[in-house]
Structure 1
């Protein structure tokens, strides 16, 4: 499944909203990943958060959300 062009949003704000329990659907993903679960989550307006694991923990590197959400 080919990953479409996604609408990027401010990942720092998305993480702050998630940690503050802002009502939203948040889905984590590997950079560049794309499958039917991610496609459906994006389609319904979920926030997709790209994460990488480094030697000092987990880092959020990007966030995406469909426009109009």
Structure 2
């Protein structure tokens, strides 16, 4: 699964970052939290994504987007 970020939104002065992917999936990032609790993954229906392979692909898309647009952590 190759995912690409279609839009991003910053809330709470950057404490909550919402990335929408091309397939309608959503990744919510909390930059101040450590490790696994930093990201929340949802599919296009709003259900939590549990499969690790899908989560890794979504996280890679977000990291690629951040690197491409030079988003500071």
After TM superposition, the score normalised by the length of structure 2 is: 0.27
After TM superposition, the score normalised by the length of structure 1 is: 0.28
Instruction: Identify, as 1 or 2, the structure richer in helix.
Output: 2
Higher relative contact order structure (alpha carbons within 8 Å, sequence separation ≥ 6): 1
